[in-house]
A and B are shown apart, each in its own frame.
Chain A
């Protein structure tokens, strides 16, 4: 049998909350230490302990980090799902089973079976108290032996998981060695899969998008964060709190130059963020679908009263509670026109940890320059899965706090008003209480109708003109928003995608002989380049992770003259998108007609 080196996926099925995550991460990190880009997808339940969880590790010659829907190695270590896990496996999948469970032989038909008595082996672990958790390390040793991960690399990996805790590393190594020794003595290699050292990693780091976004917020100068716990956005707020205390310098008295408030709900979280933005601090909140829905009314106030803040929406599966621990891109239309009345919110579409950092950092400048809540639209796959990435580069731009109505500015502009467009770009000069001290500047910011001087007004002309100015202001943002990225191909088909769909898209494009052109959206409102891309192609396929083709609809709405060209391919099952889905969608016969 010819070995297949560094081109397969391992799927590990375990019950949630049993400590298997450590073992899974140890395998992933050992592979990275071997120089492999080892990506992981954690398919976890909305549950603290007991429900099934799957962890999938993938290595490939191209270093692709997208979900591989088919696995070549299976560890069905959850009795609740073993039947299904085996049935869903392709023929010849290498299966490492717990032989103490006495699963019927017929279940393994066509599979390459390795039987390991995990329960019996666990009794060899000397520390009886820690046995239930250390037991999971046995399968690490079995995997290492069967697929050629050196045990010293397992130790090195454990040292990154438990830095400075050599005794803990030793305990874990003992259990891993039990598995390794059993496999060496009892198992005969019958499958072609193996790992070998490679040179894929270089200078790359491993992090998730939420942590990268959190760092972007700190580098962007956030000083007020209010949030309410929600999967999959909690880890973003928690990462802000973890890092900001360490890397934001205290004042000379040793007091903090930031505050974090865990609010009672998302209504309060966005209220606190907007209150802080109104008072002149750089502020944020992070949430997901249900929280975004709750924030609607206050975001409308932010839009209409022109208050800067940054809202992170880490999308999960909707509608309603949906699947809290699965991924989707289904908040696009809601966010674009959030709240009642005529609104249009700018949003950013990061597709990688680096963009998570950069767009997050940039969002504070955009919010303040354009005096509007800016939305950062990530998703669970980017936010919570860990990704290999180039190191995060230092931001190369300085803060832009936009037009502030200082006393000097008010004196210079003889006709200043809080909402007066003196520069013709729709952007007024905003006040900051305590900074704007001019006697004419004091006013009441309100969500009710207001004129250019912020006075209450019910005048039809004043109302329409104000909405028109707001629309002009939002239109003008395209010059500062991240522009789309275009890759020209050699067919008449153009494909549009965004966010995490990009990873599957890149892998699919790489495998296609005749490639369509590809435009990756990175923000809304749409850049003029989006229109010319559609105009340049007879057919445009928008691939995205929601049922209704939300971005396709938004594009048709924005470019009605080109609407007939725009078609839609959608996946909305909640798993990270695979390159296979993208490839199939690009095949004309499989295309979903709009």
Chain B
């Protein structure tokens, strides 16, 4: 098989297992205290700044970042264990998720010293939340076609006009890393002329309009920029290098356990049901699902180990996300095939509720962070086909 798709097995990390045990203990105590209720897909829908601050206190945000920015200089394998435990428990992690997963690493890679010193310690404390400013009303999969523009004014600041969409939790976040066009589109080089700006979402001229998803939840937004003046020193990285920078972000965005565990709380409920019934068909279905979880964990762990080696495995990350998000949706059908249950968001039956949540969130799994068609195109490139 093509080498670009293959990563070395992840060595078992004792440090990761130690922190895993700590997180498990913390989550059990929080659940017992009623500080949160388990839900499906909580890295999109579970916004709880108080919970995020508790994680910050424990040292579970910015785990891999340098200590001088408040980080903990731990391994990607340790961070993997923490994120995986939080997702499996269906804990409310959405508030800080983007900042911890990709905005912080993006700042570490491309930010100025001032930007890092100002923002990273706040992310680590669970006090500063980020949004991704990529998609636009007319630019989904074709990200290079974005039209939000930023131009320098006479004082050297950026003036931003345009709109971003599907901006998760913009109404509860502090900053966005916004991809903008800083020079006119060049048909000969579509990826040129794009830049990333670090935008304070409280700036005048920014309007956040809610967009409700299928279950009525408000997570998505449209973020409109009307002559928003962004200070000149809030350029992230290099002017015109935005495409390259966005691509580097994707190894972080696409490879984590949230790409196969969004519906794990449904599997957990299903597991409890199987214990109750002892039904042979249900047992087999749970076994099939479990084998897929185990394979996806190994794939995702290999990515974490590659990140620890300083690699940016974009192609394997695209592949994991394709396989993982397909799995997240398949969970629903596997359960439905062997359990007679009617999904309902307000059912007293926890399985019926988890199934309802999973179903109404399911279309998003294979869209967000790059559609599976786009991902498969990247994998095809890895196979040498394009």
- A and B associate in one complex: no
A contact set with B: CB distance below 8 Å: none
Question: Which B residues lie at the A interface, using CB under 8 A?
Answer: none
